[in-house]
Amino acid sequence: VREMKREWREYLIEKAEDSPCQGENFWLSLGEEEGRCAKVILGIVEGIRRGEEESREKSRVCLEYLLFHCCQREWKFLKERRSVSIRELCFLESGYADCPFAGVSRICAGLLIAEFLGVEVEQGSSYSVLLKCVREGNEIWNERKFLTFPKSMLYFLKNYNFKPMNKRSR
């Protein structure tokens, strides 16, 4: 995302800001860099969904590139396969159990990679592992204390410039 051409990154961020998919609380819960990356990725998705033909194709290639570079384990796992079950994808991501949402995010990335590679996702698989991931993530999300702050306080904290103290500032 940092290495993208500025114009393209700004275009994607604008697409994300026009998207009905995420609300203010979601954006306020992210740090500056996280927010910028999340907006770029949402902008890519919006470019695929609502873009003109040329930007739709460019967004699709961009998403494929990001998935390839960010999800090597999933890409290698799926590259040689003709089909995969949800259970196999869940098992592949079980190492992320300590990271809230990472497992379910990577399962979703695996499903997208399967789509790009033409790997069939088997129907009738057990979704219990996926549902467990989603439930645990939702519980963690709902318990996050910063979401109970008033919006004005969140906005203040997000925009306050915390600077480390050095000898001159004491």
Tally Cβ neighbours within 10 Å of residue 107.
Answer: 21
For residue 156, how many C-alpha atoms fall within 13 Å in the half-sphere facing its CB?
A: 5
Tokens in use for 166?
């050095």
Identify residue 104 by its one-letter amino acid code: V
The pLDDT tens digits of the residues spanning 75-98 come to: 999 999 999 887 788 777 666 655
Q: Are 109 and 71 in contact (CB under 8 A)?
A: yes
| Prediction pTM value | 0.60
Euclidean distance between CA atoms 27 and 44, whole angstroms: 17
Q: Are 12 and 44 in contact (CB under 8 A)?
A: yes
pLDDT above 60 (res 155): no
